C-alpha cells in the first residue's frame, strides 16, 4: 500500500532565516511507516528543493524537511523507528524482527539492534552488583564492554573498548559495587581486582556451563 503525501510549505532557508519562494526542483522520497490494517504501509513524499536568495548562504539549494514525521535521509518514519525500538528492548533482535514482520512491518534483526543502540542509556545511578562481559559492536571485528546491573536487570553502560584500562576506570567510579560477575578471562579479572578491590568476584553461570561443555 502506498500513499502520496503533498509536501508542506517551507518557511525558512537553511541556516539563513530567509523565506524561501523559488522552487528549484522536486523529487520523491519513499518512506516505510507503521503497518495499517496488518498491511505494509509506504509513504511517498513529494519533496521540493528551494533556492535561497541570499548570496551569503553557504547552501544555495536546499530540500524541505519533515521533522515531526521523518528525519533527514531516513527511510523510516519516526513512529516506525519507535515501534521497532519498543519491540527490541522488550525482546531481542531476532524475535522482534519476527514479530514486526508478522504485523506488516518487515525488518531484520540487525536493523532492530541498530535502532535499539540509538536509544540513550538511562542514568547509571548506584550499581551494587554488576555483570561485565565483552560486547560485539561488529561481530568478529570490533568489540567493546557491556556492564549490567544484576539487581535491576538492565544495561548500565557500553564501553567502546574491550580492555582492562577502560573497565577498571569505570569500576572505580562506582565504589558501592560489592559483587562483580565476569568470565574467566584475564582482562575482566584484572579490571575487577584493580577497579573494585572491595567487591567479591564470581564467574557467571553461562561461562561455567560453556567451560564444562568444552
166-179 confidence digits (pLDDT tens): 999 999 999 999 99
Q: What is the mean pLDDT of the chain?
A: 84
This prediction has a pTM of 0.63
Please tell me the predicted confidence (pLDDT) of residue 15: 52
- Least confident residue range of 4-13, 36-45, 104-113, 199-208: 4-13
List the one residue out of 80, 3, 1, 74 whose CA is nearest residue 40. 1
Burial grade of 162 (CB within 10 A; 0-12, 13-18, 19 or more): buried
Give buried/exposed letters for 171-185 (b at 16+ CB in 10 A, else e): beebeebebbbbbee
Q: What is the C-alpha end-to-end distance of the chain, expressed in Å?
A: 51
Q: For 50-71, write each residue's pLDDT tens digit.
A: 777 777 777 778 788 888 899 9
d(CA 140, CA 137): 9
Per-residue pLDDT at 18: 60
pLDDT at 207: 56
DSSP state, 56? Answer: T
Please tell me the predicted confidence (pLDDT) of residue 13: 45
Residue range 14-28: average pLDDT?
70
- Flag whether pLDDT at 190 surpasses 70: yes
Grid coordinates belonging to 141: 571485528
H-run or E-run covering 100? helix 93-102
94 conformational bin, left if phi > 0, alpha if psi -120 to 50, beta if neither: alpha
- pLDDT of 21: 64
Q: What is the mean pLDDT of residues 35-54?
A: 86
Amino acid at each position: 500500500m502506498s500513499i502520496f503525501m503533498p509536501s508542506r510549505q517551507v518557511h525558512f532557508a537553511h541556516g539563513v532565516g530567509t523565506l524561501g519562494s523559488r522552487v528549484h526542483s522536486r523529487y520523491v522520497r519513499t518512506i516505510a511507516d507503521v503497518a495499517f490494517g496488518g498491511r505494509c504501509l509506504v509513504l511517498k513524499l513529494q519533496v521540493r528543493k528551494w533556492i535561497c536568495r541570499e548570496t551569503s548562504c553557504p547552501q544555495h539549494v536546499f530540500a524541505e524537511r519533515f521533522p515531526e514525521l521523518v528525519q533527514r535521509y531516513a527511510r523510516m518514519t519516526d513512529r516506525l523507528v519507535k515501534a521497532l525500538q519498543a519491540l527490541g528492548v522488550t525482546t531481542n533482535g531476532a524475535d522482534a524482527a519476527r514479530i514486526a514482520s508478522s504485523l506488516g512491518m518487515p525488518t531484520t534483526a540487525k536493523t532492530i539492534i541498530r535502532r535499539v543502540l540509538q536509544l540513550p542509556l538511562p542514568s547509571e545511578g548506584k550499581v551494587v552488583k554488576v555483570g561485565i562481559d565483552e560486547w560485539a559492536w561488529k561481530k568478529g571485528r570490533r568489540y567493546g564492554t557491556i556492564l549490567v546491573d544484576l539487581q535491576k536487570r538492565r544495561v548500565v553502560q557500553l564501553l567502546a573498548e574491550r580492555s582492562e584500562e577502560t573497565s577498571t576506570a569505570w569500576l572505580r567510579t562506582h565504589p558501592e559495587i560489592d559483587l562483580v560477575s565476569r568470565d574467566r578471562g584475564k582482562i575482566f579479572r584484572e579490571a575487577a581486582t584493580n577497579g573494585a578491590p572491595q567487591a567479591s568476584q564470581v564467574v557467571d553461570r553461562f561461562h561455567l556451563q560453556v567451560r564444562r561443555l568444552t
